[in-house]
Amino acid sequence: MPRLGKTLDTITESRPVDLRTTKNPHSAWRSLGSIAHQAYFLIQELERVTDEEFSREACVIKEVLICCAEQVVAELKKLGAVSGEQEWQFPDKTLTSLHIRHLGILIQELYSSLEELLASSPRQTPPGLQSALNQLTEAFLPTARRPICVVRAHWQYQLTCRPLSEQMKETFSSFLLDPQGTVGTLGDIISSRWALRRKRLQDGDVIGNEPPETFAILSFPRLNTNNTLYYPLLAHELAHFIEHSVPLPFDEDLLISREAVQAVLNNYKTTSPLEELHDQMMTLEQEAQTCISELLADLIAVRMMGVSFFFSQAEFLNSLSLWSITSITDGFPPARFRLWVILKHLLTSHPQDPLKFLQAHQTQQPEARRLIELSINTPEHWK
């Protein structure tokens, strides 16, 4: 085990120590040493993600995670620096204890990302799925921001997008990784570590001389990984990534005025306690944001994939929800309404006439024929 000090060799437990009450500051080694061991173990596990087995995209994200883990180790070394028998001095014991514990939380967050990267191995996720995602990313995301997306198969029957770069900006405070402010922001810290690794490993022509600005890990139902007819669903999750990572123009004309909100509130009277009303408003706001986000991702996806996304989404939603449901559930709009919105946009915005295409490609397969008949004959059904 790497040494951060001679007392690390005698670590026996990982229980965090409250430095405000302990009489022996050296007992804090049990917490700091355990986190240091976890950090070194994490880096060793991340090094297992190599281009011999994993995609280039997975290797690039791995390098970002290693840069963060190495910075955590550097901070732990500073916190654990001792010489001879000199007693460990804390300028502020409480702040130091919190600093150590929060660095441990960062290691745990990085480890969860490692688990997702390992699931992107070709043994679990068909390479064709990553290839399809790469084509979408190159076609629809600005290359100036060096976007990187990795798809991994998981056991739950759902698709998700984890905008890892945006989440790290919220979780990985530069104050924790560089409390003295000698390097700068999280992006500066990663860039500095990235340059050192590229110089040492001499792999800049493969991995890239600069780290990616935006990156995400998408999850795809393992049950559908070998069914290419479901691959257009990746466009929906990529749309969520675009929503989180690409700055959107701000249009003041789209803002809802205070007068408009007050006019609506004047029509309702409530006797609920203020706290209960606040909780209801927060829940409503969260569900409204989720609903708008899902509909926006559907519209972006259909602009990317055209008719194929409509059919893929119809089959996917058909296995998750009843057509009879007409209300929003946990922020997700009803399946029937979502498909009607997709179809309406498809029929009004497609450069060619999708109806003629559908009529010319009628099939004898019952499920496909049912969807095509609904699309051609009863589009108002989706209302």
- Do 63 and 212 touch, CB atoms closer than 8 A? no
- Do 110 and 70 touch, CB atoms closer than 8 A? no
Would residue 292 count as lying in a domain?
Answer: yes
Would residue 255 count as lying in a domain?
Answer: no
Residues 196 and 141 occupy one common structural domain: yes
Q: Look at residue 139 in the predicted model and tell me its pLDDT.
A: 87
Residues 195 and 276 occupy one common structural domain: no
Would residue 111 count as lying in a domain?
Answer: yes
Look at phi and psi of residue 150 and say left if phi exceeds 0, alpha if psi is from -120 to 50, else beta. Answer: beta
Task: Please state the domain count of the chain.
Answer: 2
Q: Which of these three, 210, 245, 280, is where a domain ends?
A: 245
- Number of Cβ atoms within 10 Å of the Cβ of 106: 22
Residues 113 and 25 occupy one common structural domain: yes
Would residue 264 count as lying in a domain?
Answer: no
Q: Look at residue 67 in the predicted model and tell me its pLDDT.
A: 95
Residues 332 and 378 occupy one common structural domain: yes
Residues 273 and 240 occupy one common structural domain: no
Residues 232 and 312 occupy one common structural domain: no
| Residues lower than pLDDT 70 in the chain | 1-30, 81-95, 144-145, 246-258, 261-262, 264-266, 268-275, 277, 323, 355-383
Q: What is the pTM of this model?
A: 0.78
Which residue type occupies 301? A
pLDDT per residue as tens digits for the range 294-306: 999 999 999 999 8
Q: Look at residue 24 in the predicted model and tell me its pLDDT.
A: 46
Q: Interior CA angle at 131 toward 130 and 135, to 5°?
A: 115
Residues 167 and 223 occupy one common structural domain: yes
Residues 350 and 224 occupy one common structural domain: no
Give me the domain span that covers residue 199.
6-245
Would residue 253 count as lying in a domain?
Answer: no
The helix-helix angle for 307-318 and 335-349 (nearest 10°) equals: 170
- Continuous segment of H or E residues that includes residue 216: strand 215-221
Residues 240 and 280 occupy one common structural domain: no
Q: Which residues contact 90 (CB under 8 A, 6 or more apart)?
A: 19, 25, 96
**CA R_g for the chain:** 26
Would residue 56 count as lying in a domain?
Answer: yes
Burial class of residue 312 in the structure, from the number of CB atoms within 10 Å of its CB (0-12 exposed, 13-18 middle, 19+ buried):
buried
Residues 196 and 293 occupy one common structural domain: no
Residues 273 and 241 occupy one common structural domain: no
Q: Whose CA is closest to 15, among 29, 1, 36?
A: 29
The first and second tokens of residue 244, run together, are: 């989180």
Would residue 262 count as lying in a domain?
Answer: no
Residues 92 and 184 occupy one common structural domain: yes
Q: Whose CA is closest to 235, among 334, 135, 106?
A: 135
